[in-house]
Structure 1
Amino acid sequence: MSIVSNISWPWNDRRGRLSALKLAVFIGLFLPGGVLAVQWANGDLMPRPLNAVIHGTGLWGIRFLMISLVLTPLRQGLAWPSLILVRRMVGVAAFAYIATHFMLFVGDQAFDLGLVVAEIVKRFYLLLGFIALLGLSALAATSTDGMVRRLGPARWRALHRLVYGIAILGIVHYFMQSKVDPGQATVVAGLYLWAMARRRLTSLGLTRLPLMVVVAALGAALAEASFFWALRGVDPLLVLASNLDVGYGPRPALIAGLIVVAVEIAALIRRALKPGRAARPGRDAPRPDGSRPAESVP
C-alpha cells in the first residue's frame, strides 16, 4: 500500500471519499489570500501595500472565524448535516489568516520584537488582538482527532468553548481598528449575536424569524452605538436613530437584519420541503472515547 493512499486529504469525507462540499470550501478558503497576493504583486494596493495586506488578512480572519461559529446554527436551521464536515477547516483557516495578519504586522515593524511588544502594550486594540491570536493558537493546536483523545471529550469541549470569548475580542479589535467606518464590524457583531441566539433557540418555529431579525439588527445597532459612545463620546441615541435613515444607503444594522432574514427564510423553506431531515443537536459532540473526528470548535 502506497504512502499516498494513507494520507487523509482535507477534501475527503470521514470515509476517505472525495467530498464536493469540502473541496469547494478548501479552494474557497485560499481565494482571499490569493487575490491579496496578486493585487500586491500587480501594485494594486499602493501607496501602502503591506498595510493593505495586513488589514486584508485580518479582515478575512475575522470573517472566517464568524463563519465557523455560524456553521452550527446553519446546519441545524437548514437541516444540512454535511456542513459539520467543513467547520474545522474554516476554523483553522481563520487562525491561519489571523496568524498571517500578525506576522505581517511584525514584518511592518522591521521584525523588531521589542518594538512589537511595546506597540501591543501601548495600544489596547493590539493587546486584544494578540490575546485572541493566542487563544486561536491553542484551539488550532488541539483541533486534531489525536488531541481530542489526549484531552478527553469534556476537557476538549471546555477548551474549545473559549472560541466565543475569542470572537468577542476579535470583534472589539475590529471595531477599534476600523476607526472611521465601523460598518463591517457592526454587521459582524450583529451576526455574532444572531449565531449565539440561534444556537440556544432551536424550537421556536415561525416565531423565530422576527426574533432572530431583531437580535441581529438591534444587536448590531447597539454595538455601533456603544463603539461611537466609548471611543468618541457620541450620544448613543443619535447613532441608534441614524439606523432609521437610509438616505445614504442601507445601514449596517439593516444589512445584518436582511442577512438573517434570508438565512431564516431559507431554513424554513428547506424544512418545509424536507421535514424529516432536521439536524440533531449535539450530533457533532465527540464520543465518550473521543473516537469521532472533532470538526473544530463546538
Structure 2
Amino acid sequence: MRTGSILQLLPLFDPQGRFSALKSLTLVLLALPALWLAHGFTSGEWDFPSPYIPLIYHSGLWTAYLLLAALAITPLRKILRWSKLLQIRRMIGVASYFYLVVHLYAWIGLRYYNVETLLIEGLSRPSLWLATISLFIFTALTITSLDCAVQRMGGENWRRLHRLTYTATIAGLIHFLLSPGSIVGTPFLLPGIFLWLMVWRWLDKRDRGTSPFLLLVLTITTAVITVLLQLLWLSAFQTAPQPVEPWSTTFFALSPDTWEYLGFPPVLVVLILGGLASLCAAFRQKRMT
C-alpha cells in the first residue's frame, strides 16, 4: 500500500493524504467526553451508589449525541455549503459506536459480570431487546464503514445496509425513553432532533432542504411535536419509579426556575438549533444572490 493511501486511513489526514485541521480538531473533541468519563469513573467522584450507574447514563447520552451529530452532517453540509464536513461524518459515527461499547461494558459491570443475571434481565426487559437490536446493527455498520467494505459489498448493497442507521437510531431512542426516570429533558429532546433530521431529508429530496422559510416551519412544527411527545409518552408509557402527572410535569419543565437543575426544556433547544439552521440558510442564500 502506498504511503498516500495509508495516510488517507488515519484520522488526521484528508482523502488526499494532507493534514486536516478539521479532522484533527474533531478527533480531539470526540476524545474529550471519554477522558471525562474515565476521570469520573476512576477518581471516586461517582462511587455512590456505584460508579457504573453514571457511566451507563453518560456513555449512553454521548452515544446518542454523536449518532445524531453524524446524521446532522449532511444537512449542515448542504445548508452551510461546506463540503469538507463530509470528511468527519465517519469519525463521528465510529466514536458513537465506541461510546456504545462503553455503555454496554458499564451495564455488564453493574451486574458484576454475572451471566445468569445478565440473561434474565436481558430477556425480561423490552428496552433491552431494543438495545440489542441497535447494538447488532451499529456493529455491522461500524465494521463496514471502511472504503474497502464499500468496494467489496458494492455501492448499492452498502447503502442498503447503512440505511438501517435510522432503524437502529429509533430503537436506541425508544430504549432511552423506556429507561426508568425518563420524565423530562433529554429523553424527549433527542427524538425531537431526530424527527427534524428525518423531515429535512424528505425536504432535501425535493430540493427544498436549504429553504430558510421551510426550515423555520419545520423547526416550529418539530418543537410542537416534541412537547406533544412528552405528554403522550408520560400518559401512556412512562416508566418512572413513581408515576407523574403528564401536564404538570411538562409545563413544570418549561418554567425558568427549573432550568438550573433540569436544563433547557427540549422545545426550546429544538427551537434554538432549528432557528440557527434557518438563519444560516438565509445568510448563505443572501450571499449567493
State the TM bucket, normalised to the shorter chain. Answer: 0.7 to 0.9
Shift of 1:267: 2.7
8 Å contact from structure 1 (residues 182, 224) kept in 2: yes
8 Å contact from structure 1 (residues 54, 104) kept in 2: yes
8 Å contact from structure 2 (residues 212, 278) kept in 1: no
TM-score, normalising length from structure 2?
0.86
Aligned length: 275
Shift of 1:126: 1.5
Q: What do you get for the CA RMSD once the two structures are aligned?
A: 2.5
Query: For the structure 1 residues 230 and 206, does the alpha-carbon distance in structure 2 shift closer, same or farther, using more than 3 Å as the test?
Result: same
8 Å contact from structure 1 (residues 193, 219) kept in 2: no
Q: Tell me which moved more, 219-228 or 68-77.
A: 219-228
Counterparts of 1:77-226 in structure 2, within 5 Å, are 77-177=79-179, 179-202=181-204, 203=208, 205-226=211-232
8 Å contact from structure 1 (residues 222, 240) kept in 2: no
SS of equivalent to 1:201 = helix
Which of 268, 275, 282 is the aligned partner of 1:254?
A: 268
Query: For the structure 1 residues 2 and 183, does the alpha-carbon distance in structure 2 shift closer, same or farther, using more than 3 Å as the test?
Result: same
Matched, 1:30 2:36: no
Which of 217, 222, 229 is the aligned partner of 2:235?
A: 229
Unaligned segments of structure 2, at least 5 residues: none
Q: Which amino acid aligns with 1:215?
A: T
Shift of 1:92: 0.8
**Aligned counterparts of 2:138 and 2:2: Cα–Cα separation in 1:** 35
Shift of 1:60: 0.4
Query: For the structure 1 residues 242 and 49, does the alpha-carbon distance in structure 2 shift closer, same or farther, using more than 3 Å as the test?
Result: closer
Q: Tell me which moved more, 233-242 or 44-53.
A: 233-242
Query: For the structure 1 residues 96 and 145, does the alpha-carbon distance in structure 2 shift closer, same or farther, using more than 3 Å as the test?
Result: same
TM-score, normalising length from structure 1?
0.84
8 Å contact from structure 1 (residues 216, 256) kept in 2: yes
SS of equivalent to 2:178 = helix
Shift of 1:38: 1.3
Shift of 1:39: 2.0
Shift of 1:256: 1.3
**Aligned counterparts of 2:89 and 2:23: Cα–Cα separation in 1:** 10
Name the residue aligned to 1:68. 70
Q: Which amino acid aligns with 2:16?
A: R
Query: For the structure 1 residues 272 and 39, does the alpha-carbon distance in structure 2 shift closer, same or farther, using more than 3 Å as the test?
Result: same
**Aligned counterparts of 1:272 and 1:3: Cα–Cα separation in 2:** 43
Name the residue aligned to 1:286. none
Between the two structures, name the one with larger relative contact order (CA 8 Å, sep ≥ 6). 1
Shift of 1:32: 0.3
Shift of 1:56: 1.2
**Aligned counterparts of 2:224 and 2:39: Cα–Cα separation in 1:** 38
**Aligned counterparts of 2:4 and 2:73: Cα–Cα separation in 1:** 31
**Aligned counterparts of 1:41 and 1:10: Cα–Cα separation in 2:** 28
Q: Describe the superposition over 1:62-120 as per-residue Cα deviations: whole angstroms up to 9, x where unpaired.
A: 11111111111111111111111011111111111111211221122222223212111
> Percentage identity across aligned positions?
29
Query: For the structure 1 residues 129 and 206, does the alpha-carbon distance in structure 2 shift closer, same or farther, using more than 3 Å as the test?
Result: same
SS of equivalent to 1:177 = coil
Name the residue aligned to 1:46. 47
8 Å contact from structure 2 (residues 213, 278) kept in 1: no
Q: Describe the superposition over 1:188-223 as per-residue Cα deviations: whole angstroms up to 9, x where unpaired.
A: 111111111112213262321331212320231132
Query: For the structure 1 residues 253 and 10, does the alpha-carbon distance in structure 2 shift closer, same or farther, using more than 3 Å as the test?
Result: same
8 Å contact from structure 2 (residues 216, 274) kept in 1: no
**Aligned counterparts of 1:5 and 1:71: Cα–Cα separation in 2:** 24
8 Å contact from structure 2 (residues 59, 100) kept in 1: yes
Name the residue aligned to 1:14. 15
**Aligned counterparts of 1:4 and 1:200: Cα–Cα separation in 2:** 38
Shift of 1:11: 1.5
SS of equivalent to 2:179 = helix
Q: Which amino acid aligns with 2:273?
A: I
8 Å contact from structure 2 (residues 184, 230) kept in 1: yes
Q: Tell me which moved more, 113-122 or 184-193.
A: 113-122
Q: Tell me which moved more, 111-120 or 133-142.
A: 111-120
Q: Describe the superposition over 1:38-76 as per-residue Cα deviations: whole angstroms up to 9, x where unpaired.
A: 122221223121211121111101111111111111111
